[in-house]
Structure formats: structure tokens, C-alpha cells
Amino acid sequence: MAKVLIIDDDFAIQASLGLLFKQNEFESASAQGPVAAMSMLRETNFDLIILDMNFTMETSGEEGLKLLKEIKSLLPTIPIILITAWGSIELAVQGMKLGALDFITKPWNNEHFLQSVRTTLHLSEQMGKKGTLSRKQLDEIFDFSDLVGRDPAFVKTLETIGRVASSEASVLIFGESGTGKELFAEAIHNNSVRKNQPFVKVNLGGISTSLFESEMFGHIKGAFTDAKSSRIGRFEMAHTGSIFLDELGELDLSSQVKLLRVLQDRSFEVLGSSKTRSVDIRVISATNRNLNNMVAEGEFREDLFYRVNLISVQIPPLRDRPGDIPLLVNHFVEKLRKTYKRPRIQISNPAIEWMKRLSWPGNIRELKNLVERVILVSNKDIIKLEDFTDEYKSGPQKTSKTSIPEVGSMTLDEVEKNMVVKALDHYNNNISKAAKSLGLSRAALYRRMEKFGITL
């Protein structure tokens, strides 16, 4: 039976946690403050520590951090879960940097608390003295089946998302285009207690300033001229589940303020209605921009940055982990064998070796697309290096020669609209990339989308 030490000066918390542990077959003991805690830790072997950072009247948390350091120097590998109050999130982040494995905010949900306790105990048991987990060990604890990779830096990022999946902490995923940010976000949700609740994706790069509120908060019928019927916003859809804010760095400053308000208060007003709605959501965001620089340049609000960036995860680019290329290629080939009912497809070793030397600016998405294209175009079972080099040279944006429509068949506006739709489609609704390909600024592209009534 695992033995837990609860360090908290609040008797009510000691009692309620003590009861929760007892009901779930954990043994527990409580300590009022640092002195008692340290002497108990010297005398008894505990498996886990629950440490309240805001104990005593003083709320800066200094004392909690000091105690955390003392515990870590006495027992470097003991797993620690922090308890913090809402609003003292910086403290939790500092604590995680000092080696706490997770944190819980007050007031907590017992089910979440227990999941965090179980995951933390399991992780620390697996980590043993080494302090890190192998891919195999991670796969025993979490479901990462869609995420292929064994490179140490990649496995480290998996370990981080596994560790924080069960907590309520907001996670910000950084990574170049095509590195798997969306897959990571899904993995966090699918390994959390919210896994059977909604996972709502929002591409912030695809929402124009004027539509931000109605898209995110919803509107009631008649809220504005075009509001012919009422509409549920994304936050409400995500209630009790997770919301994935993709392309966070594309959000303009006025929408940033509106987003910050919801994230701070967990409540918002539906457009046209004066009633405030509360939501229970877990926030996961992603960006391929350097938000630190954007904060320094005044393009991204610092307060919002801290709000979404409790835990940050950096997905390494593919060129830094060429060792994963054979695994990834194999993974994609296996899927394609099924899709195209060509069970004998194989990629030759020289082709794989060649792929390991490329720089992959489009990362895994580019690799996946290349493999698929070559398999389709070559139509052979054994695919050789030449098949790849031929296809690669012809470039990823290979298009058939398109001619300009006949005079009189289309107006200039129609041509423009079609081109905008085509570019958006090609770049999966990524506004920045579509705008760039059209030689427009993002704002100019938005204006055209509004003009032509194109929504994403």
C-alpha cells in the first residue's frame, strides 16, 4: 500500500485528503509545517508527498518553495504533487522547475486528484533512480499509439505531456509546421480524465477579428444583422472537455484581450445576451511562432502568454531526429498498404538513407506527403531511391498546368474568389501561408474572405 505524506497547515484539507486516501486504499499521514514534515520524512519512508504551497498566512509561497528545495535535497527522487490556489500559478510553475511532478489547484475534483496521484506514483516507480522513462515504459502507462518516434528528445516531450495530461494545467505546444502539434494536443486530451468529453479544435489563424466573438462565444438570434439564428460558441461546445487553440500566435491584439478574459474568469457572455455563462474547460494551445519574441515586440500580450503557457512543450523538428525517419516511413507505408490494398509495397533502404539526409522544412507532414505521392505515382511494389529523387525534384507543389479561364467565362472577382479558396484549401486553412502564396498580407486576405463571404 502506497504511503502518502500530506503537508498542509489547514486541518480541513488534511482531514478531507486523509479520508479520500483511506477510501482509495492509500495510507496517509499529515504534517502541519516544515519542521514536522522534515522530521517525518527522516523517520519514515513515504512514496509520495502532497505539498500545499500556500501554507501559513503568508501567500507568496516562498516558504513552500523553500520546503520543496529542502525535501528535494534530502530525498531527490521522491515524487511530489503541489497544491496551489487559483491565481498562484507562477508558483506551481516554479515548483515544477524545482522537480515537483504535478500540481493541483484548489478547489479540486477528487477524481482528478486521484488520477494525478496514481499517474505520479506510477511514473516515479518506473523512473526509478534514472529519473527518465523509456518509450516502452511510457507506452505501458499512456496511449501514445499515434505518435511515432524513439528519439530521446522526442521521448522526453512525450514524457512531459504524459506527466501533465491528467492535471488541469494549460499546455502550450511549440513546434515548426508539420511537427505534430495537433497530434500532441489530441494525445494530451486522450490521456486525461476528460477523454470522453468533447475535444474542440479552433484554428485561431482562420477566424477574422469581426467574427471572433460570435465564433468563440456564440450569439443569439438577432444579436447582429446577419444573426438569423442562434449559434453555440466553441467555448460552450468544449464545456467539461478540452479546447485546442491552434495557431495562437496569429491572434490579433483585440481578440487576445477577449480570450484572456474567458481564460481568467472561465466565463463569458453570448453575443446579444446579457447572461454570463461559466465553462469548465482545459486549454491546450499551439503555435509555430516564437511567442517570446512576439511578447517582447508587443505583438502578443504577456498576461495571455502566461495564462496559456503553464506547461510548455517543444516538439523537435524532424531534421534533428533523422533516426526516427525509418520508423515514420514504415508507419506511413503500413497505413498506405491498407488504404490502397497494396500489401507488398516496400521502400528500399537507399531511399530511406537518402530521406535521413534531407532537411524537411515541412517536417512530418512533408515526409508523409512525399511517401504517399511516390507510392501513388510510381505504382510499383518496391520503391527505389530514383522514384523518390524524381518526385522530390518536381517539388511538393507540383500542379498540372492550369490555364487562365476563357474571356467572358468568369469575372475578375470570381477568379479572385476561386484563387483565395484554392489557396486556403491547399494550406489547410492556414491564413499566413495562404496569404503568403497569394502575395497578400494576412489582413488583406481576411478582407477578401469577408468580401467574398468565405468562412473556414
Ligand X SMILES: Nc1ncnc2c1ncn2[C@@H]1O[C@H](COP(=O)(O)OP(=O)(O)OP(=O)(O)O)[C@@H](O)[C@H]1O
Point out which residues bind ligand X (CB under 6 A): 147-149, 175, 177-183, 288, 328, 331, 364-365, 368
Place of cell 480541513: 12
Residue 348 binding: pick among Mg ion, ligand X, none (C-beta 5-8 Å cut-off by kind): none
Residues 273 and 220: beta-carbon distance below 8 Å: yes
What whole-number distance in Å separates Cα of residue 151 and Cα of residue 330?
Answer: 15
Q: Which three cell numbers stand for residue 95?
A: 515548483
Residue 230 binding: pick among ligand X, Mg ion, none (C-beta 5-8 Å cut-off by kind): none
Return the number of the residue (283 or 328) whose C-beta is nearest ligand X: 328
With CB atoms as reference, the residue minimizing the distance to Mg ion is 182
Return the number of the residue (114 or 315) whose C-beta is nearest Mg ion: 315
What whole-number distance in Å separates Cα of residue 253 and Cα of residue 82?
Answer: 33
Residue 288 binding: pick among Mg ion, ligand X, none (C-beta 5-8 Å cut-off by kind): ligand X
Q: Is 214 helix (H, G, I), strand (E, B) or coil?
A: helix
Return the number of the residue (171 or 328) whose C-beta is nearest ligand X: 328
Minimum CB distance to ligand X, residue 289 (Å): 10
| b/e burial code for range 139-172 (CB count within 10 A of at least 16 → b) | eebbebeebbbebeebbebbbbbbbbbbbbbbbb
Residues 246 and 201: beta-carbon distance below 8 Å: yes
Residue 175 binding: pick among ligand X, Mg ion, none (C-beta 5-8 Å cut-off by kind): ligand X
Return the number of the residue (72 or 337) whose C-beta is nearest ligand X: 337
Residue 7 binding: pick among ligand X, Mg ion, none (C-beta 5-8 Å cut-off by kind): none
Return the number of the residue (192 or 432) whose C-beta is nearest Mg ion: 432
Query: Which residues of this protein are in contact with Mg ion, per CB under 5 A?
Result: 181-182
What whole-number distance in Å separates Cα of residue 109 and Cα of residue 283?
Answer: 17
Place of cell 527518465: 132
Minimum CB distance to ligand X, residue 267 (Å): 29
Return the number of the residue (46 or 199) whose C-beta is nearest Mg ion: 199
Minimum CB distance to Mg ion, residue 204 (Å): 11
Cβ atoms < 10 Å from Cβ of 291: 21
Q: HSE (CB half, 13 Å, CA atoms) of 77? A: 12
Residue 368 binding: pick among ligand X, Mg ion, none (C-beta 5-8 Å cut-off by kind): ligand X
Minimum CB distance to ligand X, residue 284 (Å): 12
Return the number of the residue (79 or 175) whose C-beta is nearest ligand X: 175
With CB atoms as reference, the residue minimizing the distance to ligand X is 180
Residue 242 binding: pick among ligand X, Mg ion, none (C-beta 5-8 Å cut-off by kind): none
Minimum CB distance to ligand X, residue 105 (Å): 28
Residue 177 binding: pick among ligand X, Mg ion, none (C-beta 5-8 Å cut-off by kind): ligand X
Residues 4 and 22: beta-carbon distance below 8 Å: no
Minimum CB distance to Mg ion, residue 184 (Å): 10
Cβ atoms < 10 Å from Cβ of 1: 8
Return the number of the residue (181 or 307) whose C-beta is nearest Mg ion: 181
Q: Write the CA distances from 370 to 146, 261, 349, 401, integer angstroms.
A: 19, 43, 16, 20
Minimum CB distance to ligand X, residue 435 (Å): 15
Q: Across 70-149, where does the E strand assignment appear? A: 80-85, 102-106
What whole-number distance in Å separates Cα of residue 92 and Cα of residue 171?
Answer: 13
Minimum CB distance to ligand X, residue 140 (Å): 18
What whole-number distance in Å separates Cα of residue 22 and Cα of residue 18?
Answer: 6
